[in-house]
A and B are shown apart, each in its own frame.
Chain A
């Protein structure tokens, strides 16, 4: 015999089991309707296979499991599906869930079914599949799909199989009666499970208050080849808790956050073993179970074999309910059961007990008094927690501390609340704290997600910006190349003209092609998006089409951009520009000459400078004229005749005393200094005479200063005008020049870094182009500055 160990805490509530064990297991009457929830187990709900109006036979599969952790649902009797909709289900939340409603026909006709003749002869996986197909889930309370526990995979080696027959909760006797009346089914089920798991020990844990059941099991075990130990444990709640029973029988604690299978232990409820037996040997899926109907509000408490889906009202009726006495209807035991607020709720796979309690039996809890930290809860806690501390932390919303005190190891058995002299609803406080912590963690997760998403987006934007920048640079380089080409064209106008004629493609056509391609791309994108949203098939094809369209559009776009700049910046434009430049230079020269003359007349200072300016301008004008003459193609002779006339005519109104801007600026500043000096002297002057003479000087200087300023302003304005006339935005020009410079610097840097010769050559080429562009720009700029 094995030794019995112990677990900390535990309580001894009144058992209230005798009432329901007097009569043998009865058969519940067949109700008119069966309501079968699709979720009677832990995991994903089953998916209905039947439609409203379908006829079903007893044992027919009506809903299949979705996912690994799920269980099938079968029709408990023959009849017709009359509804598939949401109905109230037995759940702590009181919510409703999807149910299949079967109207029974009273014939109870079985679908063809057959057990497995020799389960040891078939593959174990096949046997597990058979159990899965029978819709068996844990019948002790949690309802975990049984096949999952029987097919653990290679990483779990099971050495101990524990059959939970403790049934520690008060009132419940369903397992007790099952063991008394059908011990061979239980042992048969154990044999099948043992065949699947191949454990080295098989232990049946049973509380010492079930003498008859112990005898029945012991008798049945004698006929079994397996080495099964029936271990009688002292009656103490919650010895039937999985972890507590494991501790009782093996002295091993299941590590926190792990499952028993991780330490080589699998627990199965006796009811489950019986269901496995029926499924394998008789081919009967799980369509009924034994339910204890008890409580002071029923006259004849007893155990009933009940079809799943039977409404509670039908069971209560069968046990002779006193409706006026009923105050609380509990599904499950008094310690961990769930109250239901109406009696139309159906029996499901985990319904082991139904307590129709009177008000005297389960009185409403008296108002909670202050916690005096008496520690009775601590002595009762089967998980070695400090319930009083958890209570303070939960109440004070100190969830971190509650977590640190292992709140999540609480199994909500209710032992602490049971013993609390101050009647504090401790378990409710823990549930509250747990849900708050879970919510907090979810929020935290959400926030983390949001942060990650934001960061990803930021990275994408940065990447896109970088790509854009690279593209822009590429374009700039291309433009520089074009400029180069233009320069060459300017040098050889004839060739250029010919080239323009042949090279220029039909831009209009290209534009149309690009637009068409764009439209196509858009359409393809839209179709793809719709398809993606609809999750329809053929997504891959669409994607391909989309990519093709995109490619086409890009090609069209490229062709357009390659075609358009050439004609736009052809020789004609260049010629015009040169012409304008020459005209401007001439105008400037004339202005400077006028200014010089004026200055000479007045005998102003800075004449030398002005003179130099004029000379420089003369030179420039000549250069410009020369350049223009050189560029002027023969076939543009007609244009040439009219253009020079036009340009000066336009420029003339602005042609006021023109001076070189720089010189004028200098002059203005000199004047300003002089004027300031004179003013200071004037202030410092003492005698009247001195003052009056100085005053005259100051006035004179002031006048001259004003004149100089005016001249400068005019020149400046003229410059701007001239530039505007030339169709050049000075500002833009300056920016372009700066950018070109930057591009050169970058290119140089890249050149230094570049290793491969190919690369270097390419960069060098680009650099030369950039340099050329930069020079060009500076030159243009210098014309106006």
Chain B
């Protein structure tokens, strides 16, 4: 009788990396839906474009690396990267902006490091940072939300949007559909107090509701993933709490010059970052304690860059900076193993 000779365990949970990625993609749906409602077709077109490019680039590099293309493509990680980058860039970005970003995300910051699981930085955020630095004009010309465009809930049509992305349109068209984001306005305040800004700015008065709605949608997706135990609460919660505490502290101290913590949590990429970027397991800290530190530092960095830095939003930079720190954090945040008095720290040889 010839039987298989294997060592234990002999059973495993019916789960797969592809399944994890599918769940993440599923969780992005409310956010995508909200963005499409408030910004028009641009987001969806960007997602499709980015996904196709991501799969193509991934397949090409896998082929060059002589890896089984189908096996690795099916893990779905390229799609997640594509969607996250697509929702992070302005919906009216030109196709070549997206293409450059995807190329950088998939080829440079993921595959060249050895593919899934080996990239030290979050690929979508690397690409986003590259685009922001390389094409500042394109990257800051955000679509004005539907709530801001006056009567009739006026939104750019599908064909118009296609033309914006793949061709070119007159400046006038642009001007009527784009505008500064709330964080932009709050950044370039021209000597006005926060209260004055709120009264003056159309974006803040009418547009900010759209941003809150989108953040709520991302938050829902995040809670879904949390409930499915795709990630733990540690990193996102600590990031949000840190950001909230920082903002509260300064806002409570000087409400005229600083922005309310609610705004910090509700606009920009805060919620997207907290639940879809910070939770990227590959590039974040490992242990639960490490994730708390990692998330909290990102929250603090976001506040610092938003308030005193040159860029209106800061999720990408903060995440990248903390990606750098993650291995270091890992060294000092090993959990205390069963039966040990205290946790091991640092590298081998110390505190043994």
Contact = CB atoms under 8 A, between A and B. Distances in A.
Interface in A587-626: none
Given A340-B3, A378-B286, A409 B340 contact: yes
A364 B17 CA distance: 17
A287 interface: no
Given A404-B344, A418-B9, A384 B338 contact: yes
Contact of B3 (A256, A326, A375): A326
Q: What are the 3 A-B residue pairs with the smallest beta carbon separation, nearest first? A: A414-B9, A370-B117, A256-B339
Given A367-B71, A373-B286, A336 B17 contact: no
B338 A409 contact: yes
Interface string A735-748: 00000000000000
B321 to A, nearest CB: 19
B87 to A, nearest CB: 21
Contacts of A406: 337, 340, 344
> Of A8, A257, A369, which is in contact with the most chain B CB atoms at under 10 Å from its CB?
A369
A334 B10 contact: yes
A403 B4 CA distance: 31
Given A256-B337, A339-B10, A428-B7, A376 B229 contact: yes
Interface in B202-237: 229-232
A369 B15 CA distance: 12
B17 A369 contact: yes
A255 interface: yes
Contacts of B77: 372
17 contacts: A170-B11, A255-B341, A256-B337, A343-B1, A362-B10, A372-B116, A374-B230, A375-B232, A382-B338, A383-B337, A384-B336, A384-B338, A388-B286, A405-B344, A409-B339, A417-B12, A421-B17
Contact of A374 (B118, B281, B339): B281
B6 interface: yes
Interface centre among A340, A386, A401, A405, by most B CB within 10 Å? A386
With a 10 A CB-CB cut-off, give which of B10, B286, B349 has the most chain A CB atoms. Answer: B10
Interface string A250-274: 0001111110000000000000000
B339 A253 contact: yes
A180 B74 CA distance: 49
Contacts of B284: 373
A370 B4 contact: no
B292 to A, nearest CB: 13
Contacts of A401: 347-348
Given A334-B9, A386-B287, A401-B348, A419 B15 contact: yes
Nearest to B75: A369
Nearest to B351: A404
Contact of B12 (A374, A403, A420): A420
B8 interface: yes
B19 interface: yes
A257 B15 CA distance: 34
B67 to A, nearest CB: 11
A11 B229 CA distance: 13
A386 B338 contact: no
Contact of A339 (B6, B16, B118, B338): B6
Given A335-B11, A378-B288, 10 more contacts: A255-B341, A326-B3, A330-B10, A334-B9, A366-B16, A369-B16, A376-B229, A403-B348, A421-B19, A427-B9
Contacts of A384: 335-338
A372 B340 contact: no
Interface of B: 1-13, 15-17, 19-20, 71, 75, 77, 115-118, 229-232, 281-282, 284, 286-288, 330, 334-341, 344, 347-349, 352
A638 interface: no
A335 B3 contact: no
Interface in A387-404: 388-389, 400-401, 403-404
Interface string A358-371: 00001011110111
Contacts of B344: 404-406
A58 interface: no
A423 B12 contact: yes
A582 interface: no
B16 A400 contact: no
A432 to B, nearest CB: 10
Given A336-B8, A337-B10, A254 B286 contact: no
A36 B199 CA distance: 90
Given A343-B1, A379-B229, A423-B16, A92 B7 contact: yes
A537 B15 CA distance: 67
Interface residues on A, range: 35 or more
Nearest to A255: B339
Contact of A370 (B5, B10, B118): B118
A8 B83 CA distance: 35
A82 interface: no
Contacts of A364: 4
A404 B347 contact: yes
A412 interface: yes
B337 A339 contact: no
Contacts of B11: 13-14, 170, 334-335, 362, 418
A336 B9 contact: yes
Contacts of B75: 369-370
Given A94-B5, A335-B9, A372-B282, A422 B338 contact: no
Nearest to B12: A418
A338 interface: yes
Contact of B348 (A170, A355, A400, A423): A400
Interface string A324-338: 001111101011111
Given A378-B286, A405-B334, A418 B13 contact: yes
Contacts of B10: 328, 330, 334-335, 337, 339, 355, 357, 362
Contacts of B347: 401, 404
Nearest to A383: B338
A380 to B, nearest CB: 9
A386 B287 CA distance: 7
A236 interface: no
A243 B118 CA distance: 35
Nearest to B71: A367
A569 interface: no
Nearest to B283: A373
A704 interface: no
A262 to B, nearest CB: 11
A402 to B, nearest CB: 9
B330 to A, nearest CB: 7
Contacts of B229: 376, 379
A425 to B, nearest CB: 8
A162 B319 CA distance: 49
Contacts of A366: 16
A327 B4 contact: yes
Contacts of B8: 332, 334-338, 412, 414, 427
Nearest to A365: B12
A335 B6 CA distance: 12
B6 A13 contact: no
A14 B13 CA distance: 9
Contacts of A94: 5
